[in-house]
Every structure is written in C-alpha cells, then in structure tokens.
C-alpha cells in the first residue's frame, strides 16, 4: 500500500518541482516567448528578429520601423494576451526596437 502518498499528474509534479526549485518564473517566461508567434501571427512573427524577457520586460526586436511604430499602439493589448496565456502577470511592459 502507498499510505500517505498523494497522487498527481506528471504535469502537476513538474510544476511543483519547478516552483520548489525557484524555476517556475523562468519556465513561464520561456513559454511566453514561444507563444509570441501565435499571439502576433505569421506576418509580425516573420519580422521579429529576436525576443527576450529581462526583469518582467519583454524586449522585441523587429526588422521594420513602421511595424515597431504600429506595435507600439498595441503594446497593452499584447501584454494582456501574453499574461492571460500564462495565467498570471509575467510581463509588465514591452519594448520594441
């Protein structure tokens, strides 16, 4: 018998392990970076040359000045979509360059 043991899914076990080892935030950041292409679609994704998160700031480098300008207007909407995907606030602001 397995008295005292609590059953859980593999996903829950991994999430618990990440949290207990202080890696949950980095995991969520990595997931959000991967979701960028899905959130913005193929056209903007094609013009994204690099992306990274540092201290809750998402840095996006684009190869088009006009696209940078346009995305500046959508900054809050994009931030909200990404944070909703994560289930919590990870991104405080987005910087386009």
Q: Check residue 1 and give its pLDDT.
A: 46
What distance in Å separates the CA atoms of residue 57 and residue 52, rounded to the nearest whole number? 8
Report CA-CA distances (Å) from 37 to 21, 22, 45, 71.
29, 27, 5, 14
Q: Check residue 2 and give its pLDDT.
A: 52
The whole-number average pLDDT for the span 85-93 is 90
Q: Check residue 5 and give its pLDDT.
A: 64
Kindly report the number of other CB atoms within 10 A of residue 9's CB atom.
Answer: 8
Q: Could you tell me the domains of the chain?
A: 23-96 (3.30.300)
Cβ atoms 10, 49 nearer than 8 A: no
Q: pLDDT, tens digit, for every residue of 17-70?
A: 767 766 677 778 888 888 899 999 999 999 999 999 999 999 999 999 999 999
């Amino acid at each position: 018998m397995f008295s005292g043991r609590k059953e859980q899914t593999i996903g829950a076990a991994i999430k618990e392990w990440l949290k207990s080892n202080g890696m949950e935030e980095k995991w969520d950041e990595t997931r959000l970076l991967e979701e960028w292409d899905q959130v913005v679609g193929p056209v903007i994704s094609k013009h994204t040359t690099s992306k990274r998160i540092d201290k809750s700031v998402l840095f996006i480098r684009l190869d088009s000045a006009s696209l940078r300008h346009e995305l500046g207007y959508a900054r809050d909407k994009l931030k909200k979509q990404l944070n909703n995907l994560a289930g919590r606030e990870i991104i405080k602001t987005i910087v386009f360059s």
